[in-house]
Amino acid sequence: MEYSKIVAVTGLPGLYELLNSKTDGAIVRSLDDKSTKFVSSRIHNFSQLESIEVFTKRENVNLVEILKAIDTCKEKLPDEKDNTALKSYFIKVYPDLDFDRVYSSDLKKMIKWFSVLKNNDIEFKLSEAISQEEPLPVEEIKKEEVIAEEKPVSKPKKATTKKPKEEEEKKESASKAKVKKAAPKKKSEK
């Protein structure tokens, strides 16, 4: 099971593995009880854990960063019902969190999600092949330069309009052809 396939569904507790998506919803499997069900996208929204970001005092960070920080922390997870314990735990684990915008309900959710992911042995890893911080290998940079040199940049052509008399005459003749006159009525004989 991959971290990139894990979703949170609005209105449903816990986390789910996305098995298949359809136009009107998705088939998901619960990570808690392993039950599989169809969830309608008309009623529920799906949020991939990979796309969730958390507010910090500087730039927003991906949820993976927070989960990794929780994983490396030696302290025991706090009780989800005690808001002050949650806040003091996250101050120790990730002090850059913006606690004015990250509510205690969000902290509870992160603790629950962490324990569910740990119980299912899911690695906290983004699915991006090349991260933004890593530079491209020199060979790939050279290939991109060669491709850029081969394709000359051309200016987009202006669209020409052909409206003058030709199109107007075509429209008029087409409209005249469509209009049919009714046959004259027969005169009744007396």
Question: Of 119, 148, 170, which closes a domain?
Answer: 119
**Residue 28 domain flag:** yes
Helix axes 63-72, 104-119, angle to 10 degrees: 70
CATH number of the domain within which 69 lies: 1.10.10.1650
Give the separation between CA 14 and CA 32, rounded to whole angstroms. 7
Give the separation between CA 65 and CA 31, rounded to whole angstroms. 21
For the four alpha carbons of 36, 41, 43 and 45, in that order, the dihedral sign comes to positive
32 and 63 fall within a common domain: no
Model confidence at 79, pLDDT cuts 50, 70, 90, reads confident
Mean pLDDT of 135-153: 45
> pLDDT value at position 174?
55
pLDDT in tens, 27-57: 999 999 999 999 999 999 999 999 999 999 9
> pLDDT value at position 118?
93
pLDDT in tens, 100-126: 999 999 999 999 999 999 999 988 888
19 and 62 fall within a common domain: no
3-state secondary structure of 20: strand
> pLDDT value at position 31?
95
Q: In the chain, how many domains are there?
A: 2
Mean pLDDT of 83-91: 93
> pLDDT value at position 151?
47
Containing structural domain, residue 98: 52-119
Mean pLDDT of 152-165: 51
> pLDDT value at position 190?
55
31 and 64 fall within a common domain: no
26 and 68 fall within a common domain: no
56 and 115 fall within a common domain: yes
